[in-house]
Amino acid sequence: MPELARLPGRLLIVGFGSIGQGVLPLILRHLGVRAADIRIVSATDDGRAQAEAAGAGFCRCELNPDNLRSVLEPLLAAGDFLLNLSVAVSSLALVRLCRARGALYLDTCIEPWAGGYADPTLNPAQRSNYALREAALALRAETGPGPTAVLTHGANPGLVSHFTKHALLDLARDTGRPAAPPVSRADWARLAQRLGVRVIHIAERDTQQPTTPKRPGEFVNTWSIDGFAGEGLQPAELGWGSHERRLPPDGHRHARGCDAAIWLARPGASVRVRSWTPLAGPYHGYLITHGESISLADALTVRGPGGSVSYRPTVHYAYHPCDAALLSLHELAGSNWRLQPAQRLIVDEITGGRDELGVLLLGHERIAYWYGSRLDVSAARAAAPHNSATSLQVTAGVLAGMVWAIENPRRGIVEPEDMDHARVLELAAPYLGELVGVYADWTPLAGRGELFPEATIDDDPWQFANFRVD
């Protein structure tokens, strides 16, 4: 397999759950690093046998604010790379450490310290991804240029921001307005505005099935259970478009920052929205908070004099997990959000199915356009060991982001929207199965009211109130 880049130093992996275990074979395959130069620090022994069989070092240690530096500083020097795949370890603390040591960095989401997602002493706005991102942006402004630290770069957040740019260029071409790829955020935002994109869904349907059905008192998922439960308990968040007429009854703006997003006074795992993918068709998905809902909305904002917003699309996740995870969420909600005592991460026992993950651009003259990855579990297993379809989409994003960071080592703190989308998709594509774009005439009003009258905003199907499931 081709060497895509060569790590200049050693690799330190913090956290070794399903994504760490899935990405290790890709790193050894493509990044020109010796297994002996890889060190893994994890809070559990999950994956230890795999790591040691590959020749990587493994240390079980639960990191906290008191021991972070004493544990990691000896493992990290200038030219090294810290890959953060942990939960409950502060991403910003790790970024600060990497900057002090001269090391590169990448994570798949901005994590707080343990308990940060569900701390009852914090109000919902303080527990939001918006607040975590604002803290990261403040750190970027404070520290300026330095070693590249790529934030939130897995599949979503991560690859979906690059899917969005690809989809915008497809839409421009197919509506007779072909455009060269913009260079700046402002130019991408003006392109989206010219095309009339009013809503962007990160539209995902996972159909993978385990050999053993979910049991009562058990949470089953195709990727990190702690990660899914944690983000599901955060308040629902969405980028808030300039076309929206009114806030939802439970919607709130933030008191400071970019003002590109709102939060709902409910956990994301309790809020459903209408969406569409090519294979699933119309479906109800969960409005789980994700970083891309905020960063994409912010990046695609067109501002006028005095910072006034003249254009911004509404952006949010619409996630239909695998059926076993769906039942797990239903049970979790019924227990007043107390996580089940048993958890089962399914990878090897998946019998079939796929993950259909893409972006759905809505409201333009072609109505709806979905672009993304359709990856069957059998194809994922053939491409890389220790992966499901879901995890391989994430690990492909991690690998591509690492290569980009190695190629661009002095970019400071960056988000996916700051990166070259064509280069990242070129790197990730071999592991994403079928990359397709499909047009549709679907709107959230399709078929509504045929059996029961519903309150809808018929003169503008693209209002968030039409997408939300009451």
My answer on whether 165 and 23 are in the same domain is no
Q: Quote the number of domains for the chain.
A: 2
Q: What is the mean pLDDT of residues 69-74?
A: 97
For residues 183 and 296, state if they share a domain. Answer: yes
Which is higher by pLDDT, 115 or 165? 165
- Residue 1 clears pLDDT 80, i.e. is over it: no
**83 and 201 inside one domain:** no
- Mean pLDDT lowest for which of 130-134, 229-233, 319-323, 416-420? 229-233
pLDDT 10s digits, 174-191: 999 998 999 999 999 999
Residues 84 and 204 in one domain: no
- The pLDDT, as a whole number, for residue 82 is 98
Strand, helix or coil at 182? coil
Please indicate, yes or no, whether residues 49 and 193 belong to a single structural domain of this protein.
no
**What was the pLDDT predicted at 452?**
87
**Average pLDDT for residues 443-464, to the nearest whole number?**
92
- Same domain, residue pair 146 and 225: no
Same-domain pairing of 221 and 295? yes
CA angle, 202 then 207 then 208, to 5°:
120
Provide the token pair at 3: 């060497």
Which pLDDT band holds residue 36 (cuts at 50, 70, 90)? very high
Asked if residue 140 belongs to a domain, the reply is: yes
Instruction: Judge whether 408 lies within some domain.
Output: no
Does residue 464 surpass a pLDDT of 80?
yes
Pair 190, 230 in one domain: yes
Among the candidates 130, 150, 170, a domain finishes at: 150
Share of the chain above pLDDT 90, in %: 93
Whether residue 413 is contained in a domain is answered as: no
CATH number (domain holding residue 28): 3.40.50.720
272 plus 336 within the same structural domain: yes
Query: Is it the case that residue 447 has pLDDT exceeding 80?
Result: yes
**Same domain for 193 and 146?**
no
The CA-to-CA distance between both ends of the chain, in Å, stands at 50
Full domain range(s) for residue 326: 159-393+421-469
**pLDDT tens digit string along 266-281?**
999 999 999 999 999 9
Q: Would you say residue 433 lies in a domain? A: yes
Specify which of 110-119, 224-233, 433-442 reaches the highest per-range mean pLDDT: 433-442
* pLDDT value of position 436: 98
Residue 333 sits in a domain whose CATH number is: 3.30.360.30
The verdict on residue 163 lying in a domain is yes
Q: Per residue in 436-457, is it b (16+ CB within 10 Å) or e — as a string?
A: ebbebebbbbeebeeeeeeeee
Distance CA 241, CA 199 (A): 7
pLDDT digits (tens, 9 = 90+) for 338-367: 999 999 999 999 999 999 999 999 999 999
Question: What is the average per-residue pLDDT within 451-459?
Answer: 90
Q: Is residue 117 part of a domain?
A: yes
Residue 411 inside a domain? The answer is no
Burial environment of residue 54 by CB neighbours within 10 A (0 to 12, 13 to 18, 19 or more): middle
**pLDDT of 170 strictly over 90:** yes
SS3 169: helix
Give the amino acid at 87. V
Mean pLDDT of 248-257: 96
Find the mean pLDDT for residues 309-327: 98
Domain end point (choices 113, 132, 150) = 150
Same domain for 453 and 323? yes
Residue 373, pLDDT > 80, answer yes
Residues in Cβ contact with 389 at an 8 Å cutoff, skipping those fewer than 6 apart:
206, 208, 222, 353, 354, 355, 375, 376, 377, 379, 380, 433
Is 404 inside any structural domain?
no
Last residue of a domain, one of 150, 172, 196: 150
Tell me: do 250 and 115 sit in the same domain.
no
